């Protein structure tokens, strides 16, 4: 009888040990399976608290923005895929340590301060014009670009203004990153910048008082065409073109003032 009790006790201990080992193996396997199912990606976050108006160049150079492995599902829409989009911009507000860096975290200097301050500094004004795709460089214009303005009026065509800054195009201010460019890090890469809508739109230009009056007059009595010029463009003298001298333009007229 005593031996039987000992055997039962030994068997019970053995079963308990087996159950414990089986439970441990199952839990370990479950953890491994759970880890395999976790989908992580790399995203940019604030490595330290970033004060408002900190430049993107400074934040990147000083290691204030770091790449971190996070859960894919935790990455917010608009998370930047490269720090290149932060260069030349400023922190729109305080960014807490560990906070995701999204396209709206850093904005242009124009957005970081009232537009009126920029205009006051330059002693200029902002004026809006409406152009369709044909007259507005196929809607390729972006905030920060510079344009020349050609006016067709009364059978004559002439450059009226040159090297005029574009403050706003297609609803975006200068320095604002297009939604197609700032893509969630979960996607792995930034999408290429796309063209603007094909239906034309409103452009806001930076001009002085006289140029503003010229733009209004030209828009009311003539037809305005815009040309896109490179950043280092310098105004050049161009002749008035008419039906009579179309194939043999006259000597160039003085270059119109327009460089800001």
pLDDT tens figures, 93-152: 899 999 999 988 888 766 666 778 888 988 999 999 999 999 999 988 988 899 999 999
Q: What is the pLDDT of residue 169?
A: 85
**Average pLDDT estimate for 2-7:** 61
Within a domain: residue 14? no
Within a domain: residue 170? yes
Task: Tell me the CA end-to-end span of the chain in Å, nearest whole number.
Answer: 108
DSSP per-residue letters across 46-89:
ESS-B-TT-BHHHHHHTT-EEEEEEEGGGPPTTB-S-GGGGTT-
Within a domain: residue 11? no
Q: Are 164 and 226 in a shared domain?
A: yes
Q: Are 118 and 234 in a shared domain?
A: yes
H helix intervals, 123-247: 209-221
Within a domain: residue 207? yes
Give the model confidence (pLDDT) of 15-25 as tens digits: 555 555 555 55
Q: Are 130 and 200 in a shared domain?
A: yes
Within a domain: residue 248? no
Whether residue 184 has pLDDT greater than 60? no
* Distance set, CA 204 to CA 73, 172, 212, 232 (Å): 38, 10, 11, 21
Q: Which helix (H) or strand (E) holds 142?
A: none
Whether residue 253 has pLDDT greater than 70? no
Q: Are 119 and 217 in a shared domain?
A: yes
Q: Are 121 and 238 in a shared domain?
A: yes
* Distance set, CA 153 to CA 134, 150, 160, 225, 236 (Å): 17, 10, 11, 11, 21
Q: Are 220 and 169 in a shared domain?
A: yes
CA–CA dist 127, 203 (Å, integer): 8
Whether residue 223 contacts residue 213, with contact meaning beta carbons closer than 8 Å, is answered with no
Would you call 91 helix, strand, or coil by DSSP? strand
Tokens 């790449």: give the residue: 67
Nearest to 64 by CA among 48, 88, 80: 48
Q: Are 236 and 123 in a shared domain?
A: yes
- We report the CATH number of the domain holding residue 92 as 3.90.1210.10
What residue numbers bound the domain in which 72 lies?
Answer: 40-107
Q: What is the pLDDT of residue 233?
A: 94
Number of structural domains (the chain) is: 2
Whether residue 254 has pLDDT greater than 50? yes
Pick 129 or 259 by higher pLDDT.
Answer: 129
Count of Cβ atoms closer than 10 Å to residue 244 Cβ: 10
Within a domain: residue 10? no
Percentage of the residues of the chain whose pLDDT score is greater than 70: 68
Residue ending a domain, among 107, 133, 165, is 107
CA–CA dist 152, 241 (Å, integer): 9
Q: Are 121 and 176 in a shared domain?
A: yes
Whether residue 30 has pLDDT greater than 80? no
Residue ending a domain, among 84, 107, 130, is 107
- Top-confidence range, 10-19, 112-121, 248-257: 112-121
Would you call 214 helix, strand, or coil by DSSP? helix
**What is the band of 255 on the pLDDT scale with cuts at 50, 70, 90?**
low
Residue ending a domain, among 107, 122, 139, is 107
Whether residue 42 has pLDDT greater than 60? yes
Would you call 149 helix, strand, or coil by DSSP? strand
Q: Are 157 and 224 in a shared domain?
A: yes
Residue partners of 253: CB distance under 8 A and separation at least 6: 158, 237, 238, 239, 240
Within a domain: residue 257? no
Q: Are 90 and 118 in a shared domain?
A: no
Whether residue 177 contacts residue 193, with contact meaning beta carbons closer than 8 Å, is answered with no
Q: Are 119 and 234 in a shared domain?
A: yes
Q: Are 133 and 196 in a shared domain?
A: yes
Within a domain: residue 2? no
The one-character DSSP state at 222 is S
């Amino acid at each position: 009888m005593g031996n039987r009790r000992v055997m039962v006790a030994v068997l019970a201990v053995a079963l308990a040990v087996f159950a414990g080992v089986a439970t441990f193996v199952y839990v370990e396997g479950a953890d491994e399976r759970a880890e395999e199912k976790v989908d992580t990606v790399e995203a940019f976050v604030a490595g330290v608290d970033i004060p408002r108006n900190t430049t993107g160049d400074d934040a990147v150079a000083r290691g204030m923005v770091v790449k971190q492995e996070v859960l894919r599902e935790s990455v917010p829409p608009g998370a930047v895929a490269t720090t290149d989009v932060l260069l030349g911009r400023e922190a729109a507000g305080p960014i807490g340590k560990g906070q995701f860096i999204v396209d709206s975290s850093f904005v242009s200097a124009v957005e970081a301060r009232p537009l009126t301050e920029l205009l006051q500094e330059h002693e200029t004004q902002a004026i809006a014009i409406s152009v369709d795709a044909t007259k507005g460089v196929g809607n390729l214009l972006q905030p920060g670009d510079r344009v020349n303005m050609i006016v067709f009026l009364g059978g004559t065509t002439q450059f009226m203004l040159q090297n005029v800054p574009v403050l706003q195009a297609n609803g975006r201010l200068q320095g604002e990153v297009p939604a197609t460019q700032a893509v969630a890090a979960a996607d792995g890469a930034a999408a290429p910048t796309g063209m603007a809508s094909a239906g034309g739109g409103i452009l806001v230009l930076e001009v002085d008082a006289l140029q503003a009056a010229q733009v209004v007059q030209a828009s009311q009595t003539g037809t305005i065409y815009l040309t896109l010029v490179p950043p280092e463009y310098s105004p050049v003298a161009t002749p008035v073109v008419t039906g009579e001298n179309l194939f043999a333009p006259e000597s160039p007229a003085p270059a119109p003032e327009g460089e800001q």
